[in-house]
Structure 1
Amino acid sequence: MDKPLTIAVCVGEASGDLLGAHLIKALKQRCPNARFVGIGGARMIAEGFESLYDQEKLAVRGIVEVLRHLPEILKIRKGLVRQLTDIRPDVFVGIDAPDFNLGVAEKLKAAGIPTVHYVSPSVWAWRRERVNTIIRQVNRVLCLFPMEPQLYLDAGGKAEFVGHPMAETMPLKADRTAAREILGLPSEKTVFAVLPGSSMGEINRMAPLFFQTASLLLQRYPDAQFLLPAATAAATARLTEILAEPEFAKLPIKMLEKQAATACTAADAVLVTSGTATLEVALCKRPMVISYKLAALTYAYVKRKVQVQHVGLPNILLGKEAVPELLQHDATPDKLAAAVTQWYDHPEAVAALEADFEQLHLMLKKNTAELAAAAVLEEAKSAH
């Protein structure tokens, strides 16, 4: 009897679990009897996935945290490679988490198992030399952004643009009135959203700066309300501590559990730390000011390595500075408040930006899971 098609998948964190669940659903439609095995989270397990290890053990952020858990992570990686080499899946799909997954892929590819990496690392932004390493480690890369595949093709690899899942799940027209109703906010109120980032390092650097900016905005707009979505329980705890400091204790800031898209849609303007969140704000069609600060030495190193004119995803994708970026020395409360005010005081500029963001949304909106499933099956067949 033929063994069923076996697809190995490995994800490192919650966002990967969601991509993985969508991919498994799309693959099951084409191959109802397929077996899915590897490392996955709750959403993938709900789709019938067999997880050989607890996915939470891989969701470690920050250098110190990673170092502390490194022996365990390496042990899991070794065990996973050993088990998958025994199982001999038809294809291995590493979803995001490149530091973990590309190492697994390299060993499986050497053992004759086709490998796919789903979500290209930001090679277009910095450390472009990684492209050559990645195409040695995997047979194919599935990219979320349209400018990525060419880098792999130019280096002799296989890659394609499958669209961004966020562009599929978010509405093309953002409903500000509905978002305000959900959050219990009057339609005419001045509302700003503040997104200082999700990792502890980002929160510690950016939250005080953003709260100082909020104080300045409050002087200009005394009835303003600030929304602060927190991604995790740890983020909520740390933000609560910072807000309890005397200089911030009186700020009218409403903390929300997750709900970032609702908060951004409801806001007149958004102050956001550079990262994936900037794309979410763009898909909410809201004006934003992007900021980032790093330790001085890290910044000097990164600045030398960065190969793009802009750091914010909306600006990179649109190929122009559609929204202001205030980084490092320019990231001051005065400059940030002035940039937010510019948006608030110029509705005609906001209307033009909304049109740009709608174009961006359409550019990224594809049938992502279907395209990814087709590519994965193509690689699986290539081995036979």
Structure 2
Amino acid sequence: MYKITAIIPAYNAELFIEAALSSVFEQTYSVDEIIVVNDCSQDDTSKVVNELSSLHENIHVYSLGKNKGVSYARNFGLAKARNNWILFLDADDVLEPNIVEKANAYLENSDDLSKLAMIHTSYKQIDIEGNIFDGIIKGKELKQGEAFGELLVRNQIITPSGLLLNKEFVLKYGNFNEKLSSKNEDWDLWLRLSQFGDIGYIDEPLVRVRRHNSNATRVLNVVVAGSPEQTILDQYNLDVIRAAILCRSYSKVKNILDYVSMLYRFQKWREGVIELEQLVSEDVKEKSSILFLKAVYFLHNEQFEASKSLFEQILKITPQHGASLNNLAVLNAMNSNFLQAKHLLESALDLNPNYMDAIINMRLLHTDGEFRNSYRFTLRELRPVLLSYEG
């Protein structure tokens, strides 16, 4: 059985920290030590943690004199940890009782732990009251050769809570970047480590991630010049990114489509659409994706009629294409076709009840404000299960 250290950074977590810690105490396989880093909380987090630590001798509580942020707190915990395998848990999330047991089994069945950078699991989402949202957020096992490209394309595959990290990789390749926003520092580290090791995956929902107004991962990033996501992407040469994406074991068309998405994120719109012009596919999903990325290009250039035509083409071949339903609704609303916009948004929400862009656009349809200035286009195709956000 492998010795594991659980690290819990906590800031103003009095409402949730007891449930988080209880989920560690109640594991079928016990962790060797628990490190709580209280990041200068202004509520009763310290009181709750200290009361619990008096009952459990393997808890070590460190209170910072100044609020330093979640990256600093995690790095502080890593420096204090006595074990190589680190289980992260945010203070408002909850572990399932067998995650340590499952992680141990994965480690025992691994051929070469020196190549294993981390293990993640699928997870469920809960609201502030602990109610579970529909659907399971799934990840995937990623070998070193494909992991970097896969994480570039989708930066929300792995959540910190429930992740088991090989500390040797952090010591060798660097820890969490404390200069980055708390919504991006984990992705930056996963990208870095994925270039040197494998990412394991347990296909069971072994953690419950809480979505609410104050947690660190609530806001989805919009990539603009100077944004934290752009700062991370700018660390990598575009040729490196292209090679990483195209070497994955998907079809050539899918790889190029994902590369075009990256070009768009780098604001290289013209280069992206040139790549698209050379793509041909008989696969319905790939055909829809080609049309969608062309439509996004026209949206960027404010060629709204051209984009509208393409979204309509997509819905003819893929009627349940959520992002196209939302975007076509916006274009209709901009032309004062509010009834049609409402119908399209209702269809999008029937398919994806947690679809935030569609939820916001539906609210805007019922306000007296200027819709055109506040609408939300969706510039990437939707995941099978969407992240949920409360509030």
Alignment TM class, shorter chain as reference: under 0.3
TM-score normalised by the chain length of structure 2? 0.25
Higher helix proportion: 1
TM-score normalised by the chain length of structure 1? 0.26
